[in-house]
Amino acid sequence: MSSPSETPSPRTPAVPTPPARRPRVVVLFGGRSSEHAVSCVTAAGVLAAVDRERYDVLAVGITRSGRWVLVDEARAAFALGGSAPPEVPADGTRVALSLEVAAGALEALDAPAGAPALGPVDVVFPLLHGPFGEDGTLQGLLELSDTRYVGSGVLASAASMDKQVMKVLLAGAGLRVGPWTSFTARRWAADPDACRKDVATLGYPVFVKPARAGSSIGISRVDDPDDLDAAVALAVGHDPKVVVEAALAGREVECGVLEDAGGGEPLTSLPGEIEVLGGHAFYDFEAKYLDADSVRLTCPADLPPDVVAAVRRTAARVFEAVGAEGLARVDLFVDPDRGEDGIVVNEINTMPGFTPFSMYPRMWAATGVDYPELVDRLLQLALTRPTGLR
């Protein structure tokens, strides 16, 4: 008979480890701006790419009137070019984000009695373009409740959206920007001749733009001073502040920037190039989204290696100059014969078009980061960002 010390003790049954809860991601899109339809198409691409084994996903749309609703993903297969532009349907369950600090909850406002709670939100992927989404307003709302989100914070979003403020910041950081002027609708109404004289100093042609809009909406190329008034009226219809830029020589080049998860220097993609082949005076909304045959998008751009390196360095400097986070696309004009001296920054876009066919994902795919991986990297960056520090 064995001694007590030799008696085997009964095995304790193993307790299975409960599976970790998948982070809940709210893909937020639509919105009140004139870029509502573009935002819907961007959301369709991201919703199709998110890894459902890693993330629990909710599609939340914002209607043109500002109502937040749950959207059935089957109804979110948006695309441009149909008989009507895509739009967030208004008949979904209305929801709201709790503003209680650290609650991080999405609340259903008109769900039937007994319906399950929507639960916590770990990260919001805000795919809104233009005002009321890309301009710091939404970012401020998310900051109020310490809700993590993809992309730049309040200041960088607001400053980058305002073309006048952005140019001042970039020039102050020693970056080369093209000649420009700016005025408000009030100043134009009070003294249009003075505004016209300011524009004339740039030389024609010029580009007249709403200061805080995107997707080339409200932009006009003006070759003749007689056409300036109509262009200003169009721009003012989208924003009471107008920016007028001199036409720039050179090739139109873009570069993607991605925040480094390890806290190092911003990562940059190989540049891409845009060439408008015909039928459009510039890279306008139609050329971007509806008339693919009129545009050639080359990625990577056919540039000398030293110019590619200079473009990437410049894009990283722009990203840091405005304090961007997460992602951005930097648009530049490049004269390859002048090397780094031939690079002029046009603008930075803190929430660039993000369909699988948009230039930003295409540039990263050419650099070795495919679309699903890019979406995952952005979500992981957002999930690790500190809250409550701004």
280 shares its domain with 145: no
The phi-psi region of residue 57 (left if phi > 0; otherwise alpha if psi is between -120 and 50; otherwise beta) is beta
Whether 372 and 274 share a structural domain: yes
Stretch 10-25: mean pLDDT: 62
Task: Indicate if 284 and 375 belong to the same structural domain.
Answer: yes
More confident residue, 120 or 83: 120
Determine the pLDDT at residue 114. 57
155 part of a folded domain = no
Q: What is the pLDDT of residues 168-206, one digit of tens each?
A: 999 999 999 999 999 999 999 999 999 999 999 999 999
288 shares a domain with 214: no
Given this model, what pLDDT does residue 75 score? 72
Model confidence band, residue 83 (pLDDT cutoffs 50, 70, 90): low
Give the chain's domain count: 3
| CATH number for 200 | 3.30.1490.20
Q: Compute the average pLDDT of residues 290-296.
A: 54
What does the block give as tokens for 147?
A: 């809700």
Concatenated DSSP letters of 274-339: EEE-SS-SSS-HHHHHT-GGGEEEESS----HHHHHHHHHHHHHHHHHTT--SEEEEEEEE-GGGG
- 315 and 373 in a single domain? The answer is yes
**What span, in angstroms and rounded, lies between the C-alpha atoms of 198 and 99?**
45
Residue 134 lies inside a defined structural domain of this protein = yes
The residue with greater pLDDT, 135 or 286, is 135
CATH number where 360 lies: 3.30.470.20
- Are residues 265 and 237 located together in one domain of the fold? no
- Confidence band for 337, pLDDT divided at 50, 70 and 90: confident
Mean pLDDT lowest among 65-69, 143-147, 369-373:
143-147
Average pLDDT score, the chain? 86
Residues spanned by the domain of 363:
160-177+249-380
* Three-state DSSP class for residue 366: helix
4 occurs within a structural domain: no
C-alpha–C-alpha distance, residues 323 and 169, integer Å = 10
pTM of the model: 0.86
Same domain, 202 and 310: no
If one counts every other C-beta atom within 10 angstroms of the C-beta of residue 302, the result is 10
Contact 40, 29 (CB under 8 A): yes
Same domain, 189 and 170: no
Q: Do 134 and 30 share a structural domain?
A: yes
- Residues 275 and 296 placed together within one structural domain of the fold: yes
Residues 164 and 186 in one domain: no
Are 233 and 367 contained in the same domain? no
